[in-house]
């Protein structure tokens, strides 16, 4: 790496619209979205991206139709199962979300296992850190962090609150990407995007490619 390593975060929107435009079921859009993510991971790992954080499934997404939720969960299992590809690209897998053993957690065991295995099997990689936000919501993260901080004897300071986030080691986001023409934040990384650039694109996530990624990176570097 010859310049500042970046933290890129993505809200991968528009899978459903991508599918509808092609007369396909929404699930086909998510399948294409997973393929797109695998490509973006490969490309990003070869750029100056030290951290890539993606919004895989939110605390709000559980209310989607059951078949769609099941499909998206299956895609997470598939993504976390791409171990040899991740290892080839020297990518270390990480996860943020509602802890499995805490009240409110709904993550099924097979997804828990896939997450744990991917983290374990990629833990010695030294390149880009891929953090998947699964069963993640920023307000839940911040409320939980505040509760933990209040329960400790530490002062209520930003630095102390940061220590109680799901992953305190995640650096600030340099650029937040949102695809598919939406310009909302959707309860994603509210703490971490404090000073982030925001890259909006009309393209739906399944069409997001290296040209878009490079444009987002350029925005963060200017
Ligand atoms: C938004 O599309 C995307 C999601 C709800 C997140 C799921 C993302 C994927 C399945 C991509 C692969 C990622 C992982 C981590 C396996 P949408 O359904 O909101 O699209 P719409 O707004 O066009 O309906």
pLDDT tens string 95-120 = 999 999 998 899 999 999 999 999 99
Separation CA 214–CA 4 (nearest Å):
14
Residue 3 has what pLDDT? Answer: 66
Tokens encoding 83: 């171990």
Active site residue 61: yes
Res. 1 pLDDT band, cuts 50 70 90: very low
Active site residue 101: no
pLDDT tens string 133-151 = 999 999 999 999 999 999 9
CA of 33 to the centre of ligand 1 (A): 7
Task: Check if 28 has its Cβ closer than 6 Å to any atom of ligand 1.
Answer: no
Average pLDDT over residues 170-185: 97
CA of 14 to the centre of ligand 1 (A): 7
State percent of the chain over pLDDT 90: 95
CB-based contacts of 148, cutoff 8 Å, min separation 6:
164
Separation CA 109–CA 100 (nearest Å):
9
Protein residue with least CA distance to atom 18, ligand 1: 16
Checking 83-88 for CB contacts under 8 A at 24+ apart, the result is 83/117, 83/118, 83/121, 83/122, 85/38, 85/42, 86/41, 86/118, 86/122, 86/125, 86/130, 87/121, 87/122, 87/125
CA of 125 to the centre of ligand 1 (A): 27
Task: Check if 206 has its Cβ closer than 6 Å to any atom of ligand 1.
Answer: no
Task: Check if 10 has its Cβ closer than 6 Å to any atom of ligand 1.
Answer: no
Separation CA 106–CA 140 (nearest Å):
14
Q: How many CB atoms lie within 10 A of CB 70?
A: 13
**Where would I find the beta strands (DSSP E) of 59-210?**
92-96, 129-136, 175-178, 197-200
Name the nearest CA neighbour of 96 among 131, 138, 66, 49: 131
pLDDT tens string 81-97 = 999 999 999 999 999 99
Separation CA 193–CA 21 (nearest Å):
32
């Amino acid at each position: 790496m010859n310049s500042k390593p970046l933290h890129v975060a993505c809200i991968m929107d528009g899978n459903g619209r991508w599918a509808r435009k092609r007369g396909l079921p929404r699930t086909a859009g998510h399948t294409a979205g997973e393929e797109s993510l695998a490509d973006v991971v490969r490309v990003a790992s070869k750029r100056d991206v030290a951290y890539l954080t993606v919004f895989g499934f939110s605390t709000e997404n559980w209310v989607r139709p059951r078949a769609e939720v099941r499909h998206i969960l299956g895609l997470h299992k598939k993504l976390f199962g791409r171990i040899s590809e991740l290892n080839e690209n020297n990518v270390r897998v990480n996860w943020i979300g509602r802890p499995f053993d805490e009240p409110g957690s709904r993550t099924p065991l097979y997804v828990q296992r896939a997450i744990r295995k991917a983290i374990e099997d990629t833990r010695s990689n030294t390149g880009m850190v891929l953090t998947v936000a699964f069963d993640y919501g920023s307000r839940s993260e911040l409320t939980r962090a505040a509760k933990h901080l209040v329960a400790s004897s530490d002062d209520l300071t930003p630095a102390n609150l940061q220590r109680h986030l799901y992953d305190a080691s995640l650096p600030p986001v340099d650029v937040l990407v949102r695809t598919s023409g939406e310009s909302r934040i959707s309860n994603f990384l509210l703490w971490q995007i404090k000073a982030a650039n925001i890259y909006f694109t009309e393209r739906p996530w399944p069409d997001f490619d290296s040209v878009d990624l490079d444009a987002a990176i350029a925005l963060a570097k200017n």
